[in-house]
Amino acid sequence: MPNFDAGHNESNSTAGPYGQFRSPAPPHYGPAASHPPYPAGSAQFGVPPGPPQTDPRAGFYQPQVAPGVVGNAPGAALAIKPWHVLWIAAAVFLLVALFVSSSLSWVLLALACGIGGVYLRQRHTASAVADGPVQTAPPNPLIPLRAMAIPEIFSGTAKIMLRYWPALLGIPVAILVGFVLFVFASGATISTVVVKATMSVGAGGLANLDNLMTGMLVVWLVYFVVIAAIALPTDALLISLTVIATDRAVRGLPIQSRDVLRQARQRMFAVCRLTVVFYAILFLPQLVLYLMLASSPKVMIALAGPGGLVLAFLVMFPIYFGLGLILSLAPIAVVVEGRGVGAALQRSVQLLKPAFGRILAIHVLWSVCMAVVLWGYFTLLGEQILTDLSDSPLLAGVDLLLFAGVLGVMIGFFRVLQALIYTDVRIRREGYDRELMADWNRSVASGLATQPAMTTGKALLASAVGVAVIAGLSIAVSAFSGPSDDDVIQALKRSESASIFKNGRPLFHVTDIDGAGSGWYVAKIRRDDIQLETGTVILQKSADGKLTVVMGPGTAFPCKSLVKSVAKRVVCFDGN
């Protein structure tokens, strides 16, 4: 077992825990804080000075870069590229989805534009390098190889994920979506079988129903055990994959999805064992609380109400959060350092205890970011999700898969963030930057630390085109099939229906829209806050395309005042 408290001597090992080569560190380095990001064209990388060059990978600005000079030259011109146009369009579509229409189509269009912009940017970079000769400066590390500030940890996480998204996002999202699809399909199948069995056995008496309930309990218990047995190693595989990919990215080593996945499988079961122990440790405080309550019936009765539940939450949440935080680096210690379960838990406490306040601030900031993302997601698609849940199980499954994709991105970001927290803590405590600098310099000298080749271009193009086609078809179908749910909601908001809105948000969802002749529509709505029968709304589209509420919401109408095509579709109270 290597001595991890020995500081700088740690980099002298020759093999990492997952087969990664380690060479001795360079003979001399100054203090960690004295190593800024390496300037382009510096002599440290053995690149001789050359004439000013235009960086083909530059963004909006195309400056003339002099050898050994960091930063943009004065008077750099603004250059709008095609991918910038697509990214601006993506932002516009998201704003439309947020403030104009909650349709999923606009979100899909924004996603297609974003993917298309990435594809064009990668293609331009690859063609510019191939058209050379262009003198390219040696790449800078993706993170500062020194102690990092909190914003640098978050920005470094974003850089690593954008650079190596096939391994850090593509694989986790694909695995998570597949897992959610399996859970949804299997759960729906079991529910259908159980319902049919209940209906067929119900006439047989209470004894048969008791046997059926016992069988259902066993089936669901086995089902949840199977799901847990699949989820545990899957989560361990994703943790190992993210940690290995992030560690290689920091060192400037190439990341091939197949190789990283193979290395992750080698550490998967060690992380599984750690996960089981981790959840057992988290369960201990809850077990102690239950034993304390069981020993005193009076206390149990006193805490049985809502006040007791709130008190238990206020007591247990800080314990769970604190334990989870102080042990959060244990999986990284298992993967990177090859430690066992107990040693990894001790290692996490050793690294995080002195910097607990700073790590707490990082996790609180991440929690705020996650809450904002979830708020935006449900603001954009919440109404449609409610409608799909009541109207179409198939569309509800699509919504669930989309949410799994969003959740996969968030989980991937958090795992990379944890890996960089581990890197930063070791740099601060153990001079870990010297080992990272040595590996980065060797990667640059051997030509490994370069921009990744455009191996995902076809996949990006196919994804962008596919998402755009789906979004276009959805918009076309909506345009020719009458008003959308959001059109009805906006029409009701403009009418005198303030009682079904709260702070501008609807307290209902649209369950059905039926055409009733030229320019007439009958919509059904259902309240979310109280259990009422479906309400009916009669709407008319004017010549300028504006939808207005004629009558409703209600369940009965004076049909003598309505056109016949509308009167046939509503419940009347005047005898017609």
* The residue type at 26: P
Neighbours of 208 (CB within 10 A): 13
Domain ranges of the chain: 25-130, 150-430, 489-567
135, exposed or middle or buried, with CB in 10 Å at 0-12, 13-18, 19+?
middle
* The residue type at 519: G
Task: Give the pLDDT band (50/70/90) at residue 42.
Answer: very low
Helix (H, G, I), strand (E, B) or coil at 514: strand
CA distance 380 to 403: 12
Residues 6 or more apart whose CB falls under 8 angstroms from that of 108 comprise 467, 468, 470, 471, 474
Q: 55-61, long-range: CB within 8 Å, 24+ apart, which pairs? A: 55/136, 55/137, 56/124, 56/125, 56/128, 56/129, 56/134, 57/125, 57/128, 57/451, 59/84, 60/84
* The residue type at 248: R
Q: Are 141 and 152 in contact (CB under 8 A)?
A: no
pLDDT for 479? 61
Task: Give the pLDDT band (50/70/90) at residue 45.
Answer: very low
359, exposed or middle or buried, with CB in 10 Å at 0-12, 13-18, 19+?
buried
CA distance 545 to 519: 9
Residues 6 or more apart whose CB falls under 8 angstroms from that of 234 comprise 175, 179
Please provide residue 66's backbone torsions phi and psi, each rounded to the nearest 5 degrees.
-85, 150
pTM reported for the whole predicted model: 0.62
Selected residue with higher pLDDT from 36 and 545: 545
Q: Dig out the tokens for 109 from the structure.
A: 């269009």
Q: Does residue 28 have a pLDDT over 80?
A: no
CA distance 509 to 569: 20
Q: Are 147 and 33 in contact (CB under 8 A)?
A: yes
Neighbours of 473 (CB within 10 A): 12
Selected residue with higher pLDDT from 131 and 297: 297
CA distance 49 to 37: 18
Q: Does residue 13 have a pLDDT over 50?
A: no
Helix (H, G, I), strand (E, B) or coil at 226: helix
Task: Give the pLDDT band (50/70/90) at residue 78.
Answer: low
The whole-chain average pLDDT of the chain stands at 74
Q: Does residue 509 have a pLDDT over 70?
A: yes
Q: Does residue 417 have a pLDDT over 90?
A: yes
pLDDT single digits (tens) 122-137: 787 777 655 555 445 5
Q: How far is CA 493 from CA 36, 91, 382, 383, 485, in A?
A: 56, 26, 17, 14, 12
Q: Are 158 and 169 in contact (CB under 8 A)?
A: no
- Ordered strands of the 535-541 beta sheet: 508-515, 520-527, 535-541, 547-554
